[in-house]
Amino acid sequence: MSTISEPLYRRVRKDIVECALTPGKSFSEAELGRLYHASRTPVREACRRLEHEGLVRIIPFRGYSIAPLSVAEFHDLQEMQLIFEPATAALAAERANQKELDEMRELATYEYNIEDKNSYHEFLQTNYQLHSLIAQSSKNKRLSDVVSNIHVRLMRFFYLGLSFESHGPTLVAEHISLVEAIRNRDIEQARHMATDHISKAIERSAKLLMGAIRFGEAVFEASPEMGDSQLARKYIVPRI
């Protein structure tokens, strides 16, 4: 069944992460099946996997909903980063192989063009790949899975509308410093650079959130070209 549902799972997961599917939107198996031209059995299996990842919620006796986004969740995920990622960086410095180290260096140098939306989206994917690769290089699958899930869920906020603005060169410099510490096999420096990078990211995003929140109202409104037929609107649902 996992083999049958895998392509559907990947398509829906991508659309949730990129916010093509509305955060908080309710749907039935039949509705999702019609949208993706899939039968109910693989839809059900895909939804169960996505629910396990925190991207879909099961509504008993009613169906499902796309997991909403809240400021509280954003803060929770960043705190989890601060707990887990310094540990993965330290382990990666000890355990990463040469191929992984070379790939880290290549990913760390990508800088987005602030005037190019596609470039920014490419950066979001590259950033995810870099942090996931560092976690994978720890050779601790459970830890790697946690870090990957944190970044998948964080990406939704940035696809939704939060922007790194003009921080491109700063982010590249931080990524390179982190990767160099790992490549030098300096365990404590790798731990320190990961902590520093995430702490600064929290400071930057706090300013972005403060500029976006309007007394608990919707932060990102629907674009005119996005209709309910696409299950697509853009907003943050604050947790009360």
Domain ranges of the chain: 5-66, 71-232
> Which pLDDT score, from 0 to 100, does residue 234 have?
41
64 - beta bridge partners? 27, 58
* Segments in the chain below pLDDT 70: 1-4, 162-166, 208-240
Look at the block and give the residue holding tokens 């908080």: 24
Q: What span, in angstroms and rounded, lies between the C-alpha atoms of 147 and 137?
A: 12
193 - beta bridge partners? none
- What distance, in Å, lies between the first and last C-alpha atoms of the chain? 38
> Which pLDDT score, from 0 to 100, does residue 214 have?
40
> Which pLDDT score, from 0 to 100, does residue 3 have?
64
Q: What span, in angstroms and rounded, lies between the C-alpha atoms of 115 and 122?
A: 13
pTM, two decimals, is 0.84
Architecture of domain 5-66: Orthogonal Bundle (1.10)
Residue type, 228: D
Backbone angles phi, psi at 56, to 5 degrees: -130, 145
> Which pLDDT score, from 0 to 100, does residue 82 have?
97
Nearest to 114 by CA among 44, 171, 178: 171
222: left (phi over 0), alpha (psi -120 to 50) or beta: beta
Homologous superfamily of 71-232: GntR ligand-binding domain-like (1.20.120.530)
Residue pLDDT, tens place only, 57-110 = 999 888 999 999 888 899 999 999 999 999 999 999 999 999 999 999 999 999
> Which pLDDT score, from 0 to 100, does residue 223 have?
40
Neighbouring residues of 19: CB distance < 8 A, sequence distance ≥ 6: 156, 159, 160, 232, 234
